[in-house]
Amino acid sequence: MSHQSEECKRLENNIVQIADLHQLNDFEVDSSSVYLFHFPMGRTDFEASRSQEAYQLIYNFCLRLHKDATVSILTTPPEAARLLPILEKCLEFKLWVAVKTTPHTYVNQKGKLPERHAALLILTRYSGTLRHTKTRVKYTYCPSCKKTTKDYGGKKHTYHEYGTLISDVWRDIECNPCEDIEPISDLLQDLFGLEPYKLLQILDLRTCKDLLPVTELPPRPNETSLIKEQPTLFQMSQTLLSPHLANANEPKLESRLLNMDCLEGLRSLPTESVDFCFADPPYNLQKKYSHWNDSMETIEYFAWCDQWLSELARILKPGKTLAVMNIPLWSVRYYQHLCSRLNFQAWIVWDAISFPVRQIMPSHYPILCFSKGEARALPGLQPKNSTEAEYLAPLGEFYCLRESCLSQRQRLKASDRGELSDLWYDIHRLKHNSYRVDHPCQLPPMLMRRLFTLFTLPGEVILDCFNGAGTSTLVAQEMGRGFIGIELSLQYHTIAQQRHEELQQGKNPFGKREVVPDAKNSRVERLPKQHYMVSKKILQLDVKRIAQEIGRLPTREEVKTLSKYPIEYFDNYFIGWGEVCAAARTTGMSDLPVDQADIQLKFQM
Ligand SMILES: C[S@@+](CC[C@H](N)C(=O)[O-])C[C@H]1O[C@@H](n2cnc3c(N)ncnc32)[C@H](O)[C@@H]1O
């Protein structure tokens, strides 16, 4: 990955082979090192579950570290999920970075999703925000039109000429951590190239005797240990389902939307009755829902999550999948609960690509997949028709989504598709209001289409116990699957019902809408719709001119005196002073590679 770190004093690096974790007891620690534990790759959940002693030795080492220390751990996602809760007793979690690996890092297993990422945990001995250099990753360019992969539209003047701020998905580098982690260490040497650090200590555990592959087989899951409660409100029907595709002899749950609490709804369903469970719960991050307190105490929140996770595990059929989405740290907590009930199946990283608001942008959501007992071979790996095949064919990396480029590629029948893996980067959040209804955090339908194609067959029953505006149930119906959607809020439940009616009438419930929704997916207030006398870009560039004249960002009073435009425009058109100064704080960029941008500028002169 080409990157640029501001005011960076690059760290030296030093590799130490750790053959026995007891060596760590004598390892001298100091205040100027950043540590990177390099685990053997391919470690399974079962191996991780057998490594408590090894983790304890690493914990003892971390306990001795200086109060300013930063520790990173490079390993497989299941191992990171098992190790983190132990290290969290002496270190503070800062980031889970998903690092792209080469296709040959993990052995592809028949019937499973190819694995293409490793976990890089970043933890510190200190509290508060992570200290690191401001690091940017060079823009990537579309292999077809040669413009930047992301279309920055009319906002190019507010971006930096070099690239975007680094996020928590490192896809621009690719390495095989079994062999060489140079691209990762290279980046860490600059990312942490600031006081008091001087050295990146790489503790290479690849041949460590305490982490050797386990040869014994994992015990067969004891499915009878799962609680089997009796149904209360159970209804059965054969309607809406295609009996020839699912097992025709099995009783089927009737497709329906339930307006009730998820626990009440789940408890009403029989054990082992659902083919795919999905959950996109409230994240307890103070979202403004109509009927839900999204800021419970953490302990209370997880006690509640454990209850519905257990219910989902109960109603899931053997061999089938439960997929749950959340932020990385909360997903680790879910992992702890689920791994005692179900089998770990896949750790999908959805790189949802957001705006650079902080120094390292958190931009991904894990989708944790567990199966009841041994997972069946993924049905989607042999798609049933061309539409479903399309859902599983991601856009090749770095291709752009500009209309002109897309149609050109279509005309030329250019092959712009990549290979499906557990790293999903081509599905964007629903940003545009015209595609949203009145719900603050709708998922994009394409995410559900891919999940349902991959994990289910036509006719099978999908359940979403936080159905919101109905994304899951609508997609399920669209794809000929049965569905059960549970939603607490009457308002969202009604929206979902109306959209199902639209679907029934042959309309597209995901199409463009005229009405601007009230609900927002960001905490920033929405400004009233208005007619701009002068474009925001012109105003921001005028502020940039003033900043250059006075040698710093101007205050409101200075803009009032020095701008060509009335101060009311700045007050009314922008959300805050940060946005007014957005262009003044950076260099501006072009969507062509730097040398081509120069040529184009010369032609324009
Ligand atoms: C993250 S949103 C899900 C959005 C949904 N995936 C969509 O695309 O529309 C979480 C939803 O869970 C609902 N919810 C919160 N607590 C609930 C509960 N106890 N039972 C059922 N639904 C609940 C909220 O009202 C909200 O609509």
443 CB near ligand 1 (under 6 Å): yes
Nearest C-alpha neighbor of 79 from the set 335, 381, 377? 335
Closest CA to 496 of 518, 464, 522, 458: 464
Name the more confident of 223 and 169.
169
> How long, in residues, is the chain?
605
Spell out a b/e string for 504-513, using b for 16 or more CB atoms within 10 Å of the CB, else e: eeeeebbeee
Between strands 199-204 and 256-259, the pairing is unpaired
Q: Supply 406's token pair.
A: 């897309």
Nearest CA to ligand 1 atom 26: 468
Question: Which two three-digit tokens encode residue 92?
Answer: 């503070």
Residue 544 pLDDT greater than 50, yes or no: yes
Average of per-residue pLDDT values in the chain = 88
Q: Phi first, then psi: give them for residue 353, nearest 5 degrees.
A: 50, 100
Sheet holding 163-165, edge to edge: 3-5, 135-138, 163-165
pTM: 0.88
* 353 vs 340, more confident: 340
Question: To test ligand 1's pocket by mutation, which of 261, 465, 466 has the most ligand atoms within 8 angstroms of CB?
Answer: 466
**Token pair for residue 279?**
């959950």
Comparing CA positions, the residue from 516, 324, 352 lying closest to residue 429 is: 352
559 C-beta closer than 6 A to ligand 1:
no
Tell which atom from ligand 1 comes closest to the C-alpha of 496.
Answer: 9
**219-223, 427-431, 443-447 — most confident range:** 443-447
> What spacing in Å lies between the alpha carbon of 468 and ligand 1's midpoint?
5
Q: Is 119 in the pocket of ligand 1 (CB under 6 A)?
A: no
**Which of 487, 492, 498, 521 best tests ligand 1's pocket when mutated (most atoms within 8 Å of CB)?**
487
Angle separating helix axes 445-455 and 471-478, nearest 10 degrees: 50
Query: How far, in Å, is the centroid of ligand 1 from the Cα of 487?
Result: 6
Average pLDDT over residues 288-310: 79
Taking the CB of residue 313, how many other CB atoms lie within 10 A of it?
A: 20
Please report the pLDDT score of residue 62 as a whole number. Answer: 97
Query: Which tens digits make up the pLDDT trace of 115-150?
Result: 999 999 999 999 999 999 999 999 999 999 999 998
- What integer pLDDT is reported at residue 604 of this predicted model? 44
Three-state DSSP at 383 gives coil
Residue located nearest, by CA, to atom 17 of ligand 1 = 488
Nearest to 246 by CA among 445, 462, 470, 391: 462
- pLDDT number for residue 286: 63
More confident residue, 156 or 356: 156
Atom of ligand 1 nearest to the CA of 489: 25
Compute the distance from residue 467 Cα to the ligand 1 centre, in Å.
6
Type of residue found at 242: S
- Identify the pLDDT of residue 240: 35
Q: Quickly list DSSP for 559-573.
A: HHHH-SS-HHHHHHH
Would you say residue 356 has pLDDT above 80? Answer: no
SS3 content of the chain, % helix, strand, coil (to 5): 30, 20, 50
The alpha carbon of 214 and the centre of ligand 1 are apart by a number of angstroms equal to 41
Token pair 């369903």 is found at: 269
495 Cβ inside 6 Å of ligand 1: no
Give 407-425 pLDDT, tens digit per residue: 999 999 889 999 999 999 9
Sorting pLDDT into bands at 50, 70 and 90, what band is 12?
very high
What DSSP character marks residue 522?
Answer: S
pLDDT of residue 236: 37
pLDDT at 96 over 90: yes
Q: How many CB atoms lie within 10 A of CB 372?
A: 25
Q: Across residues 165-190, what is the average pLDDT?
A: 93
| Residue 485 CB–ligand 1 contact under 6 Å | no
Per-residue pLDDT at 339 exceeds 50: yes
pLDDT tier at 107 (50, 70, 90 boundaries)? Answer: confident
d(CA 485, CA 278): 10
- DSSP H or E segment with residue 490: helix 490-504
Q: Which of 71-75, 164-168, 246-250, 313-317 has the lowest mean pLDDT?
A: 246-250
- Distance separating alpha carbons of residues 317 and 338, to the nearest angstrom: 15
What is the rounded end-to-end Cα distance, in angstroms, of the chain? 34
Q: Which atom of ligand 1 is nearest to the CA of 442?
A: 8
251 has pLDDT over 80: no
Q: With pLDDT > 70 as the criterion, what percentage of the chain qualifies?
A: 86
Domain range annotation of the chain? 3-211, 255-504, 536-604
Query: Quick one: average pLDDT of 102-112?
Result: 84
Q: Please state the atom number of ligand 1 nearest to the C-alpha of residue 291.
A: 25
Report the C-alpha gap between 363 and 143 in whole angstroms.
23
Q: Find out whether the beta carbon of 439 lies less than 6 Å from any atom of ligand 1.
A: yes
Ligand 1 binding pocket includes 487 (Cβ within 6 Å): yes
Q: Which residue has the tokens 């009311």?
A: 568
The reply to whether ligand 1 has any atom less than 6 angstroms from the CB of 442 is yes
Residue 244 has pLDDT above 60, yes or no: no
SS3 204: strand
Taking CA atoms only, the protein residue closest to ligand 1 atom 27 is 468
SS3 276: strand
Q: Which residues contact 587 (CB under 8 A, 6 or more apart)?
A: 160, 161, 162
C-alpha of residue 508 to centroid of ligand 1, in Å: 22
Q: What is the CATH number of domain 255-504?
A: 3.40.50.150
> Which residue, by CA, sits nearest to atom 4 of ligand 1?
468
244 close to 238: Cβ distance less than 8 angstroms = no
- Residue among 326, 365, 478, 488 to mutate when testing ligand 1 (max atoms within 8 A of CB): 488
Q: Is the CB of 397 under 6 A from ligand 1?
A: no
Lowest mean pLDDT among 172-181, 476-485, 537-546, 593-602: 593-602
Residue 108 has pLDDT above 90, yes or no: no
The segment with the largest mean pLDDT, out of 355-359, 528-532, 574-578, 600-604, is 574-578
**CA atoms of 292 and 313, how far apart (whole Å):** 24
- Side chain identity, residue 593: P
Contacts of residue 528, Cβ cutoff 8 Å, sequence gap at least 6: none
Q: Are 280 and 443 in contact (CB under 8 A)?
A: yes
Atom of ligand 1 nearest to the CA of 443: 8
Tell me the HSE value of 384 on the side-chain side, using a 13 A CA sphere.
14
Q: Ligand 1: which atom is nearest the Cα of residue 486? A: 21
What per-residue confidence (pLDDT) applies to 297? 80
Q: What separation in angstroms does the CA of 98 have from each of 69, 91, 568?
A: 22, 20, 44
State whether the beta carbon of 471 lies less than 6 angstroms from ligand 1: yes
* For residue 336, pLDDT beyond 50: yes
User: Where is pLDDT greater, at 214 or 331?
Assistant: 331
User: 3-211 in CATH: which number?
Assistant: 3.40.50.150
Lowest mean pLDDT among 3-12, 47-56, 386-395, 552-561: 386-395
Would you say 118 and 423 are in contact if contact means Cβ atoms under 8 Å apart?
A: no
E strand or H helix at 311: helix 298-315
Statement: residue 317 has pLDDT above 50: yes
Residue 491 CA, ligand 1 centroid: distance in Å: 11
CB 403 within 8 A of CB 153: no
Check residue 527 and give its pLDDT. Answer: 60
pLDDT tens-digit series, residues 179-203: 889 999 999 999 999 999 999 999 9
Q: Which two tokens stand for residue 363?
A: 């931009």
The answer, yes or no, to whether residue 247 has pLDDT greater than 70, is no
pLDDT tens-digit map of 450-460: 999 999 999 99
CA of 48 relative to ligand 1 center, distance in Å? 33
Q: What are phi and psi of 342, to 5 degrees?
A: -125, 180
